[in-house]
Amino acid sequence: MKNRYLFFGLILISSLLNYSCDSDPCDEGYTQVEQNGSFICLPDFLAGIEKSNEYGNTFYHKKHGVITFEKGQWTNEFGEKLTDL
pLDDT (0 to 100) of residue 35: 82
| pLDDT digits 0-9 by tens, 15-61 | 666 555 556 688 899 999 988 888 989 999 887 776 666 667 889 99
Domain that holds residue 48: 26-82
The answer to whether position 2 is within a domain reads: no
The answer to whether position 8 is within a domain reads: no
Q: Report the domain count for the chain.
A: 1
On the 0-12 / 13-18 / 19+ scale of CB atoms within 10 A, 45 is buried
The answer to whether position 66 is within a domain reads: yes
pLDDT (0 to 100) of residue 4: 77
Can you spell out the DSSP letters for 15-38? Answer: HHHHHHT-S--SPTTEEEEEETTE
pTM: 0.64
pLDDT (0 to 100) of residue 67: 93
